[in-house]
Structure 1
Amino acid sequence: MPYPLDAAAVRAWCGLALEALGRERERIDAINVYPVADGDTGTNLYLTLESAARAVEAAFDGHASSGTAPCLADAIGAMAHGALIGARGNSGTILAQLLRGMTEVLAAAGEPAVGPGAAADALRRALHRAAASAYEAVAHPVEGTVLTVATAAAAAADRATGDTARIARAAHDGARTALRATPGQLAVLGRAGVVDAGGCGLVALLGALADALGGEVSAEPVTVRADAPLPEAGGRAATVADGCATPGGDGPAFEVIYLLEADDGAVARLRTRLDGLGDSLVVVGGDGLWNVHVHVDDAGAAVEAGIEAGRPYRIRITHFDGAGRTKEPELAARAVVAVVPGPGLAGLCADAGARAVSVRPGEPPASGELVQAIRQARAREVMLLPNDPELRHTAAAAAEQARTEGVRVALIPTRSAVQGIAALAVHEPGRSFDEDVVAMTAAAGATRYAELAVAERQSWTMAGVCQAGDVLGLIDGDVAVIGADLAATATTVLDRMLSAGGEMVTLVLGAGVPDSLAESLERHVRERYLAVDTVVYAGGQHAAPLLIGVE
């Protein structure tokens, strides 16, 4: 019996698609010759879908306490949003828009309680909207790519009859047929003797959807060659990506990707400006949140355009070499990768020579994102600073994966950004790896940490009952102070922490917090605690108005 098109089906789809892309990732990477032969399409699709799957699981976790499941609109919406905020590369950005297009139809259709015929019709319309929205997002659509495959899938679904499982299977079959024809539509694919890499990913995704709705899991590999045997799993087809100059071979030097908070009008102007700066422009999203992808020679101008349009964040800039591939510099001896909650802290890490992974409240990085950051650090040895107790398992998984790739990774047990700052302060690449690990771990462990937060609702805490709007002072992760005023609560927290001694106070101001708060706290420390120094950073984090560290 086919499964209904509901939230459980979306959850199953995510899991099956993630497994499928995990199996196909290296094969897809190996045939990646368009738009840039950088060999990462499979990886980018996997990381994008991993973010989508995490968002769906979070939606189910949010309903667990009430014993209910999310509705279809919530589940498919979470999948699309997770893909949007986690989209990687040109392929991942287009995938996010495909999912958003499906969401626009399925969320409006509601649960398929009205009957399987209505659900099948909704799925047909969703596939059509997905293909159309993807075309709209790409500045200059090219046939023989994932766009062509998406359109063929929608057309095949239109011709099919039956329930949603039959519709999804027809879409998958139509996509496979279109994929095999891509080498004849795009010259660069024909010269390389391969099919479109992004289209391969979409075929895997649609196959997983058919499996989720039909209840029959298949592991048939996606055809990646036009007229040659499949490459062995785990082996990169260097003759394809290295021997085929793409249209971008003499093109822009940088790939720029960022999330952007902006209104529709500002984004329309941004599209026009970025289109004049480079190529491979894809802007996806809506409702105030967008994912921007473009290849340019002037990366700074692309970011500045985003700043003029709204608020860009999670900015990623990749340098291509002369053949269009990601440029791989010499391996450094040692690097530091740190998870940080704000742009100011990201800048601080960069100044200290560390690679920052910026996060927003409620959007923790996936293990794949941390692995990617470790890879991009291009070092034989890496210190990984999670700076959050909730990320210990994610960071441990990322470290283990990186170790299998030959990188020596040390997970420094930092539970707060201020502990990360303390660890960075004693980092010394010139000493032995083990000595550096010990010194950084000791510095983090010697730093007590606190943060101020604003209560969202009434709840019980270690310090008593708090009301919505109360200022909470958390010391070492537990609520220790409940107050009504930010400055007064911060002062009380500082006094409690310094009552046990200390030599250095670190204050990290959140977004929108006035400098006067830091000035009053500095003055308080100077007047009451002799020989205690204070250092202040503008962290820019949104979740906590103030972070405090005492060493």
Structure 2
Amino acid sequence: MPQTLDAAAVRSWCALALEALGREREEIDAINVYPVADGDTGTNLYLTVESATQAVEAVFAAHETGALVPAPADAVRAMAHGALIGARGNSGTILAQLLRGMAEVLADGDAVGAGDPGDGRHGGHRLALALRRAAELAREAVAHPVEGTILSVASAAAEAAGTAARADGAHGAGTAEAVRAAYAGARTALDATTGQLDVLGRAGVVDAGGRGLLTVLGALVRCLTGDAPAPFPAGHRRRESPVGADSAAEACDAEGGPAFEVIYLLEADDAAVARLRARLDGLGNSLVIVGGDGLWNVHVHVDDAGAAVEAGVEAGRPYRIRITHFVAAAEESRVQRAVVAVVPGEGLAGLCAEAGATTVLARPGEPPASGELVEAIRRAHAREVVLMPNDEALRHTAAAAAEQARTEGVRVALIPTRAAVQGIAALAVHQPDRRFDEDVVAMTSAAGATRYAELAVAERQSWTMAGICQAGDVLGLIDGDVAVIGSDLAATAETVLSRMLSAGGELVTLVLGEDVPETLAARLESYVREGHLAVDTVVYRGGRQSAPLLVGVE
């Protein structure tokens, strides 16, 4: 096995960590009692690493057409950035910062161990520096660091790697020895967490976040040495039964903790984030703000979720906002049926949520992964779930998520919606009180009866079904194919509507992007009204989405 942490090794590390967390997710969820006993630490860590893995794979995909492989710096930066934008929960957010700290050191030069004699001498010293920087940044990101948590485990890993790196005089230990030492130190520290935090001692468990970090470090050992370390004992000091709704509710009530977990990504400068940190620290607890270079991931537990979001708005531009009510989530019994829908913008997310759907936001260039869809299905707390990907490219991802959810006892029907407007049409006829099969058939029929289009701006010259387009041209795509090429958004939209309505229709749905003026909607409504008296038009604001205009005709 290679003993250098080059780009290929980073890719392998991500894949092995994701595989291991997938196996151990439920075990980690079951011992999650701190800071809130909501039983999702393993799931959150899995989703965080899944996002990191996707980012690294994207870097490799960009190099597929060339002879060169990605530089090690590009791979580690992608891993850290992917973890940052996909971080979930308290532990996932801290893990993202740990990876960012490692990336700061590992991206500064060649791969760890590269060019070293023998088995990677000096590489151990650099890996130890990376782990130390990771532990430092993670502690800085947490408003009030607590021992007996993932922070303690990270510090112990760094200290053990550093000791190994200094053990052999000037040369120090190799990369393999350093990573093995880091794992051993982390494992010892994890065992000690039960005696460091009273809540862990009462429950008889080790820290769930630290347990997840040990899994990630174990994947790094396997990646760099080829040897899988001895696994942490399954059920080690585990509660007699997994953390459930009652225990989570009791923890919230007994300890008087905040009612909400608020998470969002934030575009802001350093000075604004410093003010935000002070503001949120006064609003709640479990405050973790990670990131840098203008992009941050904010995590906090508060009683006033609105105030936490408003603080983000004052600091910069928050998005991917997620609010979870701890007690409600813990006490809520399963409903009979729910709808889970992928949506391309914040505006449609709000619209679908008002209609009762659990939404998954797909930002431009960042499609959700299957794990994120599975997590949304779990979050819906339903025995029956209707899943709508609203994108042809997500069909297989959604199918994988549905299959996973079925193994967990949830009845899932996948409606192969190819556009958000088809999902809106399906949601409009959803009736949770009728039989599941009948509801699915009605929703599928409504989606299938909706033709869809979108208007986009060409980024470069290319061949299309409608001819050659130039960069800057407005493209009208009908049912996924380019049908119209124009130079003006409004005029091209009118041509698209004319073609779609030539086959008949009763309702036109327009979804406007963030920067599209209201005057466009008024013009298109007038155009439909003048040419098709019996056709109604509804307009929605989609917010930040991949296309400036989405069109549906039912």
Q: TM-score of the superposition, structure 2-length normalised?
A: 0.93
2:163 aligned to which of 159, 166, 171? 159
TM superposition shift of 1:299: 1.1
Worse-matched range after superposition: 138-147 or 426-435? 426-435
TM superposition shift of 1:529: 2.2
In structure 2, the partner of 1:320 is 326
Question: Does 1:470 pair with 2:473?
Answer: yes
Question: Does 1:176 pair with 2:182?
Answer: no
Conserved? CA contact 1:183–1:196, under 8 Å: yes
In structure 1, the partner of 2:207 is 196
Identical pairs, percent: 73
Structure-2 change in CA distance of 1:352 and 1:292 (3 Å):
same
Question: Does 1:305 pair with 2:316?
Answer: no
Secondary structure at the aligned position of 1:207 is classed as helix
Structure 2 unaligned residues grouped into runs of 5+: 165-171
In structure 2, the partner of 1:13 is 13
Instruction: Return the alpha-carbon distance in structure 2 between the equivalents of residues 248 and 117 of structure 1.
Output: 52
TM superposition shift of 1:240: 12
1:439 aligned to which of 422, 437, 442? 442
Structure-2 change in CA distance of 1:501 and 1:247 (3 Å):
closer
Question: Does 1:28 pair with 2:28?
Answer: yes
Instruction: Return the alpha-carbon distance in structure 2 between the equivalents of residues 428 and 231 of structure 1.
Output: 40
Instruction: Return the alpha-carbon distance in structure 1 between the equivalents of residues 111 and 209 of structure 2.
Output: 30
In structure 1, the partner of 2:64 is 64
Instruction: Return the alpha-carbon distance in structure 1 between the equivalents of residues 340 and 128 of structure 2.
Output: 44
Question: Does 1:260 pair with 2:291?
Answer: no
Conserved? CA contact 2:6–2:111, under 8 Å: yes
TM superposition shift of 1:474: 1.1
Secondary structure at the aligned position of 1:9 is classed as helix
Structure-2 change in CA distance of 1:237 and 1:197 (3 Å):
same
Mapping of residues 15-414 of structure 1, within 5 Å:
15-112=15-112, 113-115=114-116, 116-160=120-164, 161-218=172-229, 220-221=231-232, 225=236, 228=237, 236=242, 245=251, 249-321=255-327, 326-414=329-417
TM superposition shift of 1:320: 1.9
Structure 1 unaligned residues grouped into runs of 5+: none
Conserved? CA contact 1:33–1:244, under 8 Å: no
Instruction: Return the alpha-carbon distance in structure 2 between the equivalents of residues 546 and 475 of structure 1.
Output: 12
Q: What amino acid is aligned across from residue 319 of structure 1 in structure 2?
A: H
In structure 1, the partner of 2:455 is 452
Q: What amino acid is aligned across from residue 482 of structure 2 in structure 1?
A: V
TM superposition shift of 1:236: 2.3
Instruction: Return the alpha-carbon distance in structure 1 between the equivalents of residues 230 and 482 of structure 2.
Output: 49
What CA RMSD, in Å, does the superposition of the two structures yield over aligned residues?
2.2
Instruction: Return the alpha-carbon distance in structure 1 between the equivalents of residues 234 and 425 of structure 2.
Output: 51
Conserved? CA contact 1:24–1:221, under 8 Å: no
Q: What amino acid is aligned across from residue 182 of structure 1 in structure 2?
A: T
Q: What amino acid is aligned across from residue 93 of structure 1 in structure 2?
A: T
Conserved? CA contact 1:87–1:291, under 8 Å: yes
Instruction: Return the alpha-carbon distance in structure 1 between the equivalents of residues 245 and 454 of structure 2.
Output: 53
Query: What is the aligned length?
Result: 543
TM superposition shift of 1:480: 1.6
Worse-matched range after superposition: 530-539 or 134-143? 530-539
Instruction: Return the alpha-carbon distance in structure 1 between the equivalents of residues 46 and 243 of structure 2.
Output: 19
TM superposition shift of 1:330: 2.3
Instruction: Return the alpha-carbon distance in structure 2 between the equivalents of residues 183 and 221 of structure 1.
Output: 15
Conserved? CA contact 1:510–1:538, under 8 Å: yes
TM superposition shift of 1:44: 1.1
Conserved? CA contact 2:249–2:326, under 8 Å: no
TM superposition shift of 1:464: 2.3
Q: What amino acid is aligned across from residue 280 of structure 1 in structure 2?
A: S
TM superposition shift of 1:399: 1.1
Q: Deviations over 1:7-48 (max 9, x none)?
A: 110111011111221222222222212111222111111111
Instruction: Return the alpha-carbon distance in structure 1 between the equivalents of residues 519 and 244 of structure 2.
Output: 58
